[in-house]
Amino acid sequence: MPAKAKTQKKAPKPRKAKATGRVGLVNPTAEEMKKAFSIFNSSNRSVISTQDISRVALEQGYSFDDDEINAMMEAAATVTGRASTTSMTFQGFQKLVAHYSRTMPT
């Protein structure tokens, strides 16, 4: 009697991602904004600091020197109309994202 051939299990089909029409934080919901802010604001101080930006960048595999981080905060201060170039509140973060949501191609 010939040996029974083993049947191979089929690999599960990958799930398809639901298309939302959004990339990153383009036209984010209020909940998405809070979640994004909390990634930077891990210590719950209610502000994002230059150290927070540097930490998140490193976690994502990017390394910026102090001059580059300061330039980012200066640009954010210009967009949000704030005088501080060392920290950003949630309201400033919202303004910054709203500004870039309008200027980013979709």
| Both structure tokens of 78 | 């210009």
pTM above 0.75, yes or no: no
Q: Which residues contact 22 (CB under 8 A, 6 or more apart)?
A: 28
Q: Which residues contact 53 (CB under 8 A, 6 or more apart)?
A: 40, 64, 69, 72, 73
pLDDT tens column, 17-41: 333 444 455 678 889 889 999 999 9
pLDDT tens column, 74-104: 888 888 888 878 888 898 888 888 887 765 5
